[in-house]
Every structure is written in C-alpha cells, then in structure tokens.
Structure 1
Amino acid sequence: MQAILAARLFDGVDAVPIDRPVVLVDDGRIAGVGAEVPAGAEVVDLGDVTLLPGLVDAHIHLCLDAGTNPVGRLATIGDDELRVEMRAAARRALLGGVTTIRDLGDRSYLALGLRDEFAADLTAGPQLLTAGPPITTPRGHCWFLGGETEGVEGIRAAVRERAERGVDVIKVMATGGELTVGTWPYQAQFSVEELRAAVDEAHRHGLPITAHAHGVAGIANATAAGVDTVEHCSFITPTGATADQAVIDGLVAAGVTVSATLGHLPGFTATPRTVSLIADLNVVFARIRESGVRVICSSDAGIGPAKPHDVLPYGAGEMVELLGYSTAYALRSVTSMAAQECRVGDRKGRIAPGFDADLLAVDGDPLADITALRSISAVIRGGQRVR
C-alpha cells in the first residue's frame, strides 16, 4: 500500500479540511483518505502541492494534430501513421494531467485500438472513451472522418454499427462547423425526427449520445430529440453569437448538460472576427450560467495550434476568468462532473475509497488561483506515477 501525502486536497467535489492529507492507494485504487499513515505503507510525500483527481476531458480529437491545417494533414496520411500520431497526442494529454479522455471523432475507429492499448498499459495513455467517426450528413461537418448518412433508417443503422463495434458514446453533428468547408455552424444538419431516431437507437444500446451544435436551430433540435449532452452550445449566428433564452430554458427543463469547449494557449493569434465572437460567447455563457444550465468544461483539443491535447487546464481558467464560474465549480467541471457525463463517475473524477487512483498534483492552490492547475508536479494513473 502507498500513502501519498500532500499539503492540500480537492477530492473532486470540494476541499478536504485535513492538514497534510493522506491518500492510501492499493492495487491501483484508492483505499482511503485521512490524516494517518498506516504502519508498513510506502510513503510518497509530494510536498507543498494540492492533490486532485486526474482531469477528465470530455471532448477531444486525437486524430487532429493541433496544427495550422489539421484537416489537410489528415488527408495526407494513412491509418498507420495516424495511429502513431494519435498515440502521441494521448500521451501528451496524460502528461498534462488529463487521465481520462473522451474522443468525439476519429477516423477508421482507430481510437478503439488505442483504448485497448491504454487499458493494458496504464502508463501509456489515459483512460480512453471513444465515439468512432461522428455521424453526419452527406458532405456535412467532418464528413472526411467517414460518418456520412441520411434519413431515419440511415441514422439508426449508423448508431447500430458503432454500438456493434463497441464504442462508448454516440456523437452526432446537429449543425455544421468551422473546420468543414461548405458547412456553416449556425445551420442545422439533421431534423428532429432524425435526431430522435439516433437518440432512441443509442439509448436502446445503453449508450449516451452527444450532439455537436452551434446554432440555435441545431441546439433546439438536439434538445427536443433528447440528447444527453450538447457540445459547444455557442448560439452562433451568421454575424456573431446571441443567446436564445427560450432554448436555454429548454436545456434546463430537459436536463441536458452543455459541454463548453474552452481553453486556448495564451498568446494565440486571433482575427478581428474571432475577438468579436469571443466577446459574444462570454455574454452567451454568462446567460447560460445564470439560467442554471449544467455545464462541464472540455477542450475540443486538436482543432488548431491554440488547442494542443493538454490544453484543458486553460479551459478551467477561462471558465473562471471569462465566464464567471467559481474555482470550485470549474474544478468539479473537469473532474467529477465530467466523469459523470462520460458515464465513468463511479470510478473516475473523485478521490474517494473505491475510485481509480488517477491523481494530479499541482503547485499552489487552484481553489485560490485557478491558474495553479497548469503548474503540474506529478501525474499518477492507476497508482503508477507517469510524471
């Protein structure tokens, strides 16, 4: 048994009021949390750090290289080379303190193989949950990943295929997106009837379903269809972003969680349009917060240079600094709350007996200063130290 000592402890829900807390780890799981070191335990004193659960990124793309042209890059490489790059991206996330990731769009179901690799060797990568190629319309958003379909029966068949392959979540593109030429993020792609068929089929197979949705029509359609989560939920219009209170109220009434894809490396170059859009989005998400929508913080990592695969701690910072959430809420949103949305909340995202010993140690106190989340001192996955 290991006894891991730290100066402070955030358990995934709140700070633990213990001076010099001790986390006991046995066979890769947390055996106890307290103030005493049992006789015979191996002591691992991490020093003046805050110990947290390993972070959970509920929206990431391992197949996108976070370069200046990730879609163009994808078109130039085969699956073998892509698998190598995805493996490296996952490793970067792990070293950045992200011990669980949900890949919401890959090519050729490559993430399924990596999921098995990382399950066999915990130090190789994070716990990986995967959606396979996202379901989209013909030439719709991210069609190049191989998930094109149309019509009620087509979308049901697409969900069945993914369930039979063993995915962990269904991802459907309810609107267009910035990455795909010929689509627009403010335009809906599927009807409510089609999305309901996707939801029904996913739930019939015991799978959660999440919808990429930027524009108000796509958000409304996804909510009416009964999806579990809406990714982005940015209320983008042709000229900016404007919250629709009726649609926000619908999210609250339906109990839909919003996965806010936040986080950018500091100093990234933003166009005047992007600067204006960010200002609009801050107002949109202030309205979402004030209305009581359940929101988790994810990253959409991989889509550009400002979003490498370990960018999630910056997203938590933006949640506090730009959107007005408390530090405690932001920390929950990247630990216990995100784990719940990913359907692994019974073993991830908490420091509590019986949970996996996926741990992150950071210098300083992120409850006092959220930027401390970027000052990583140690990463532990399944009781094994990887950083």
Structure 2
Amino acid sequence: MAAAGRARLADYHGVGRKPVDGVVVVGMLAIRSGAAFDGVGPALVERPLVLVDEGRIAEVRAGGVPPPGAEVIDLGGATLLPGLIDAHVHLVFDGSADPVGAIERLSDEELLDRMRTAARTCLAAGITTVRDLGDRAYLAVRLRDELVAEPAAGPEILAAGPPVTTSQGHCWFLGGAADGVDGVRAAVRARAERGVDVIKVMATGGEMTPGTRSHEVQYGPDELRAAVEEAHRHGLPVAVHAHGVAGIENAVAAGVDTIEHCSFMTVDGVDSRPDLIAAIARAGIVVSTTLGVVPGFAPPPRISARLDGFLANVRQMRDAGVTVVCGSDAGIGPPKPHDVLPYGAAMLVECGFPPVAALRAVTSSAAWACRVGERKGRLAPGFDADLLAVDGDPLADITALRAVTAVFRAGSRVR
C-alpha cells in the first residue's frame, strides 16, 4: 500500500499493548469461542481466548483467564476466524437487473449513499475488507475515507477509482477512458494523486458493456507495461481485468500483480492453456477468480455454457501452484449481492479445493493479494481485530461461513 494509505490507517489503529497477567487492563476486550481458524490452519484452535486492544489483536491464548478489567464476550461454541476479504467488488453497482442504468440515473451523492448501504451489507456478512475495483468519480475513495473515521459503519475499502479503460471500452461509463501508452500513464498518475490503493485496468472487454467482447483485447502489452511501470513507481499494485486468452498473455508479459477473472474465454468457448497457467505460476501473479452466486439464479446462457471450462481452469491453476483468491464481483447483477462471497468460497470447495485452502482464499491469501497481509486475514498478535464468528466448523463444512453469529470491525462488535 502507498505511504498515504498507511498514514490514513494509522488514524484509527493504536499500538497494541501486550497484556500482563495480574495487571488491570482497562478497555481491553477478551473474546472466548468454542474454536478458531487462525487464517492459516490446518486445524482449528480449541477454546481460544482472543485479547483485543485499541482495534488490534494483542494476544491469542489457548484458553486461560482474561486479564482483570477486560470486557469479556463469550461466543459459546461458535468458531472465530478472521473477517473475510473480498478481492473484487463494485460498491457502486446495486446488484439489480440493470446496474448500469441505475448509475446513469443517480447523482454522485445518491450513488454514495447507496454505496454506504452496500458497505453495511458486506460487513453484516462478516466481510470486513473489500477491494473495490471500479467506481465513478472516486466515490469509493470518499467512502473509504469516511470509514477510516467510523470503521464500524463498513468494511475497510481498498479503492481503485474509475477503472482505466479504452474509449468506449468495458465500463467506459464510469469515466476512466484512456488511450495509448501516454494516456494510460497519465491515467495512472491521476489515480495515484487521488490517493487510490490499487490501479484497475481493463485489458479485455466485458459482459456488461455493449459493444465490447470479453475475449477481445482492449490494451496491448505496451499499454499494460506502461500502467505497471507507472503504478509501481507510485508504490501501487495493478489489477488487470482479463477474460480472453490474448488479454491474459498480455497481462503476464506486462508483469501485473493480479489477474481478475482469468477465464480463458474464446469467441465460442473456453481454452485450456497449461503453458499459460505455468507462466502465471512462474511469475508469481495472483489470480482473483470470480466465483459466488446466490441460489435461485442461473448464469446467462453465454456464461452457463462455459462454466465447466471455467472451473476446470481454476482446478488447473490450483494444481500448477498459482495463488488463487476469491473475488465475487459483487454488485454486477441479481446473482451477485454484496454479501455473496461465502458462496464463492463454497464454489472453490466444489472445484476440489480443500476447505482450508478455500478459507485462506478469503482470509490470509486474499489479504496478501490485496497488499494488506501484514495486518489482515489472520488471528495473530498485531493484526487488525476484524473478526467473524460462525455457527459450525467451516473446515468441515464451508457453508458454515453463512451462519454468522458475530462480526467485529476494528475491535468493535457490529453484529
């Protein structure tokens, strides 16, 4: 994260004080639960006691007595785990049948108010960090800064601002059009100056923008390389939307940090490219695969016909050693409300991921992919006290992620 981002986070993170047995510690929170997943695994910790001080985890004990003066919250037999991290959301989209039309009808202030509601929906589901990969008018940046002052009102937001796209390219209506190497460099600089946390670039077309096609290239390797060079010069990672095979090849050649979707789409299906998957693994590029649909909604026919191919490639990426995290793309339509991420974790298990790997994909691995792994995604001293408690054992049954019993954000209980 850029230095400005770290400074903002310091506004509400105090320095944790390690508790000393027998000393009265005023303001400390002690959370008991039946078990805990620490973000790494492979097994649950039995009867943990998590001590929280000034918004951060001060200590994780295997049982024991809380320090005198600590406020004790007993969650009974629930399983405690790090708050979930959604690596790809759009708070500006409302999850309706016509999210683009809804944006066009609303003012910036109306959109921002709706984004606040979407943020609360995320948080209520235990999604305590989101990477927002495309808004209008830097509204996610504004909301991010609001939530620094009031973290209990929503998840921590890692904001990209308007995605960098070609004129009339995918999501051009969000206001991020830039053409050519010089245009892309200028667009990245402009976002850095506005204080974004990540640069989002549309390397291929997309499904929700008429006139573009997901399998077709928008930016070539020169433009993508310019985006990466300029972003890295400002200390920012680059997340590239790439569905088509050629777009994925260009993203790998440019040295991007994450590939979003990475669906290997072709004009009439899905390609199988073990060589390209091996190249992604060698380069250490993280794939933020798009998973998660609430029950009762069938994918559009064009997507449904490709679903088996998509999932087969996700399994190939796992087997090849690619770091795969889960990004829901929440907000883009009715199957994708802003609390859909737990269904994405379940789809990873259906793809053959062990439950512990699926949990990492929405906690510790996702945190590293989003450049916040030093303070998010684990139950460990010094990490943010963004916590989720669920009824059941998610290592045995990943659907337990949907049985939320408590949510904590920066040490404050919000559910």
Q: Distance in 2 between matches of 1:329 and 1:348?
A: 17
Q: Does 1:339 align with 2:367?
A: yes
TM-score where L is the length of structure 1: 0.98
Q: Does 1:320 align with 2:349?
A: yes
Shift >6 Å, 4+ stretches = none
For each residue in 1:12-48, what CA deviation from the matched residue of structure 2 results, as whole angstroms up to 9, or x when unmatched? Answer: 1015654311101111110101121233122110011
Q: Does 1:270 align with 2:302?
A: no
Q: Distance in 2 between matches of 1:341 and 1:298?
A: 11
Paired position in structure 2 for 1:8: 35
What is the aligned-residue identity percentage? Answer: 61
SS in 2 for 1:234: strand
Question: What amino acid does structure 2 have at the position aligned with 1:28?
Answer: G
Paired position in structure 2 for 1:283: 312
Q: Does 1:31 align with 2:31?
A: no
Q: Distance in 2 between matches of 1:172 and 1:18?
A: 40
Q: Distance in 2 between matches of 1:99 and 1:27?
A: 17
Q: Distance in 1 between matches of 2:353 and 2:133?
A: 25
Q: Distance in 2 between matches of 1:61 and 1:275?
A: 22
- Asked if 2 retains the 8 angstrom alpha-carbon contact of 1:107 and 1:132, the reply is yes
Of 35-44 and 259-268, more deviation after overlay is shown by 35-44
TM-score where L is the length of structure 2: 0.91
Paired position in structure 2 for 1:295: 324
Q: Distance in 1 between matches of 2:300 and 2:120?
A: 31
Map of 1:1-387 to 2, 5 A cutoff? 1-15=28-42, 18-34=45-61, 35-40=63-68, 41-321=70-350, 323-387=351-415
> What stretches of structure 1 of length at least 5 have no aligned partner?
none
Change in 2 beyond 3 A, CA 1:129/1:281: same
For each residue in 1:332-357, what CA deviation from the matched residue of structure 2 results, as whole angstroms up to 9, or x when unmatched? Answer: 11001111111111111111001110
Q: Distance in 2 between matches of 1:310 and 1:125?
A: 12
> What stretches of structure 2 of length at least 5 have no aligned partner?
1-27
RMSD: 1.1
For each residue in 1:141-188, what CA deviation from the matched residue of structure 2 results, as whole angstroms up to 9, or x when unmatched? Answer: 000000101111110000000000100000000000001000000001
Aligned pairs, how many?
A: 386
Question: What amino acid does structure 2 have at the position aligned with 1:355?
Answer: F
Q: Distance in 2 between matches of 1:275 and 1:224?
A: 30
Q: Distance in 2 between matches of 1:16 and 1:326?
A: 12
Q: Distance in 1 between matches of 2:267 and 2:47?
A: 53
Q: Distance in 2 between matches of 1:273 and 1:148?
A: 27
Structure 1 position 312, deviation (Å): 0.4
Question: What amino acid does structure 2 have at the position aligned with 1:150?
Answer: D
Change in 2 beyond 3 A, CA 1:64/1:17: closer
Q: Distance in 2 between matches of 1:319 and 1:329?
A: 8
SS in 1 for 2:373: coil
